Structure 1
Amino acid sequence: MTMKRIFMTLALCISAGVLSATAQTNWQVTNTFHIGGEGGWDYVTIDAPQHRLFVTRATHTLAIDEDSGKVLGDIPGQVRSHGVALVPKLGRGFITDGGGSGAIIIFDLKTYAVLGRIPTMPDSDGIIYDRKLDKVIAVSGDGNALMTFSPDIDPKNGKIDPPIDLGGAPEFLASDGNGKVYVNLENKDLVAVVDLHSRKVIARWPVAPGGHPVGMAIDRAGHHLFIGCRNPHVLVVMNTDNGKVEASLPIGTGVDATQFADGHAFASCGDGTLIVASEKNGTWEVDQTVKTAAGARTMGLDRRTGQIFLPTAEMQPNGTGRPRPKPGTFMIVEVGRK
């Protein structure tokens, strides 16, 4: 354990909780790791026990040390990678590859070696692992489907379960651990509720006044979904029992991810802002808008330390289009509580 980790752990013990909802909110950028290399970026997945983050970079996926920013491994062989799910008990990781007809890459968590490639559906995108159900769950944007399979799947010859039709294009998802999966349908402005036991969509809930929902996180204990919407730019707080929208909070443009931990909800936006919100006396409010860096639209949150990690790069003008990342400037921006 590094000295940084030791002091951080002591500080957390003294404060009686990393993200205590009653503590003063004062988040700021605490470090920037300059990684470099080629490729864009998408979702971030945290391996808290091993102090690692996994970041997909189109044709490859990086494993990065949380403390130093050192690249620990580089997993090759993707066409257009999106997300990573981890199953530590089996020593396996799973990467969605949305290129071509779609696939999921299975890799070894220790060696980063590719174990196999499972055919899926086009535009395989968001992916999670539900430990209670012991299922890997992913979505296919172009296939309008939810996909599931057991994490012990044969990496060479295994097949996914029969896909579940969602009736819209999914982006990201969350599971309640009891058989219900919530999926953002970004082209329908809806959340689809899937019962994995019957393998059917049992409800479709509007995200209005939000629209174009992309990022999603869940508070299982509090029965809340946190949905990042791009048009209009709001963070929607939705009840997981009945789909009621309990709050709609203003956020920045280009949101792509949300997180929740210990009473705080977060939304990372491509305009270089990170929104921090919490509930006070039954009302959700924005506590702080943290300035991060342009392009930092996705994030991972380490619940053991409270640190948030956002991938981005130096952005440069691109004529009349949106700015493009400058080659070789990929970085991880770290945000923590002051």
Structure 2
Amino acid sequence: MNALSRVLLIASFSLVPMAAAHAADVYRFTHEIPIGGEGGWDYLSVEPASHRLFVSHASRVVVIDTRKDAIVGEIADTPGVHGVAPAPELGLGFVSNGRADNVSIVELATLKTVGHVATGKNPDAILYEPERREVYAFNGHGQSVTVFAAAGGKVVATIPLGGKPEFAQADGGRVFVNLEDKNEVAVIATATHAVIARWPIAPDEEASGMAIDHEHHRLFLGCGNARLLVLDSTDGRVVASLPAGAGIDAAAFDPGTQLAFVSNGHDGTVTVVHEDSPERFAVVQTLPTQRSARTLAVDPVSHKLYLAAALFHPAEAGRRPAMIAGSMKVLVYSLVPAR
């Protein structure tokens, strides 16, 4: 055996424990963080540099230190809050207030609100676009996007979408947003603030959550027909469609583990998908959580998975079940070796 062959053989054996270790790693429940209070919730978002998790809750945002998994503060006066978009390089965060038709501008260091920006009706998903340092507030009832400068809050564009926006991501001078009622992804050019493409997602439908793999240009869409759809973010090509669960609301992607997640609130599960390559994806775990755990976030530093959930009274005929006051919590799951 020559020297080159020996090197190749050693390299091949060195990859086996890494692959085996990855295959053996699974998510398991570790603990919960009580939130309490009354009212519902929507998006969760992680700001990894400051080790903070932002949890929307009725008319406030609960802030959690992800190193201790303990509540360290809150952002007050956010009526009908949906989401938080941190801009750590500016020291600011932006909160979409659905019932107030505005966005709060918040100092991240103090969690104090320092201004508001008027939007269209019912701003829902919210996104900070770092290349142009602009904020995109997606108006659910207004079927539009309000775009404003992160520094100063000046509105620079209102973009009609022609459909109900759900979550969004940005990559390479473009912003992608799910139009849930149109079964398509709208593509916005950040330089012109115009919709430049519409990508159909059929036969999948009603996409809500969206996550992105920036390195490989892959979009992950959690769809209402219990599928996780993968698109190429350069051209809208369908790369894969995988089985998931019922009641999908949110999606997340961890570049460190190459794992994508969708939270299935009706089933009380999370579908975990591994990106084997940019063209190959596989469901590697169906993680039991709790019915109602429909939104989630992943911390790319610790790889912990966070889901908001609560308990509900039995449903009355023709009405939504009421939440049991004080029962809201954040469920925490960690990546551990399989038993």
TM-score band, normalised by shorter chain: 0.7 to 0.9
SS in 2 for 1:49: helix
SS in 1 for 2:192: coil
Aligned to 1:266: 261
Distance 1:161 1:209 in 2: 36
The CA deviation at 1:237 is 0.6
Aligned to 2:325: 327
Which amino acid in structure 2 is aligned with residue 170 of structure 1?
Answer: P
- Whether the 8 Å contact between 1:96 and 1:124 is mirrored in structure 2 is yes
Distance 2:334 2:54 in 1: 19
Distance 1:324 1:285 in 2: 37
Distance 1:39 1:83 in 2: 15
- The runs of 5 or more residues in structure 1 that have no matched partner are 1-17
- Whether the 8 Å contact between 2:187 and 2:197 is mirrored in structure 1 is yes
Which amino acid in structure 1 is aligned with residue 212 of structure 2?
Answer: I
Aligned to 2:120: 121
Aligned to 2:177: 183
Which amino acid in structure 2 is aligned with residue 318 of structure 1?
Answer: A
Distance 2:49 2:321 in 1: 36
Distance 1:206 1:214 in 2: 14
The CA deviation at 1:103 is 0.1
- Specify whether residues 20 and 197 from structure 1 end up closer, same or farther in structure 2 by C-alpha distance, changes over 3 A only: farther
Aligned to 2:272: 276
Which amino acid in structure 2 is aligned with residue 184 of structure 1?
Answer: N
Moved more, 46-55 or 213-222: 46-55
Which of 286, 291, 316 aligns to 2:288? It is: 291
1:53-92 correspondence runs (5 A): 53-92=53-92
Aligned to 1:103: 102
1:21-60 correspondence runs (5 A): 22-60=22-60
Distance 1:75 1:20 in 2: 43
Does 2:305 align with 1:308?
A: yes
Does 2:204 align with 1:210?
A: yes
The CA deviation at 1:205 is 0.8
The CA deviation at 1:19 is 12
TM-score of the superposition, structure 1-length normalised?
Answer: 0.88
Q: Max radius of gyration: which structure?
A: 2
Aligned to 2:155: 160
- Specify whether residues 243 and 56 from structure 1 end up closer, same or farther in structure 2 by C-alpha distance, changes over 3 A only: same
Aligned to 2:238: 245
The CA deviation at 1:133 is 2.8
Aligned residues: 315
Distance 1:283 1:223 in 2: 13
SS in 1 for 2:127: strand
What do you get for the CA RMSD once the two structures are aligned?
Answer: 2.1
- Whether the 8 Å contact between 1:64 and 1:72 is mirrored in structure 2 is yes
Aligned to 1:132: 131
- Whether the 8 Å contact between 2:176 and 2:187 is mirrored in structure 1 is yes
Distance 2:36 2:245 in 1: 26
The CA deviation at 1:23 is 4.6
Distance 1:21 1:104 in 2: 44
The CA deviation at 1:20 is 11
- Whether the 8 Å contact between 2:95 and 2:105 is mirrored in structure 1 is yes
TM-score of the superposition, structure 2-length normalised?
Answer: 0.87
Aligned to 1:14: none
- Whether the 8 Å contact between 1:19 and 1:306 is mirrored in structure 2 is no
Aligned to 1:15: none
- Specify whether residues 117 and 198 from structure 1 end up closer, same or farther in structure 2 by C-alpha distance, changes over 3 A only: closer
SS in 2 for 1:106: strand
Which of 138, 150, 164 aligns to 1:169? It is: 164
- Whether the 8 Å contact between 1:58 and 1:79 is mirrored in structure 2 is yes
Which amino acid in structure 2 is aligned with residue 218 of structure 1?
Answer: I
Which amino acid in structure 2 is aligned with residue 143 of structure 1?
Answer: G
The CA deviation at 1:270 is 0.7
Which amino acid in structure 2 is aligned with residue 217 of structure 1?
Answer: A
Aligned to 2:145: 146
- Tell me the percent identity: 38
- Specify whether residues 173 and 151 from structure 1 end up closer, same or farther in structure 2 by C-alpha distance, changes over 3 A only: same
SS in 2 for 1:83: strand
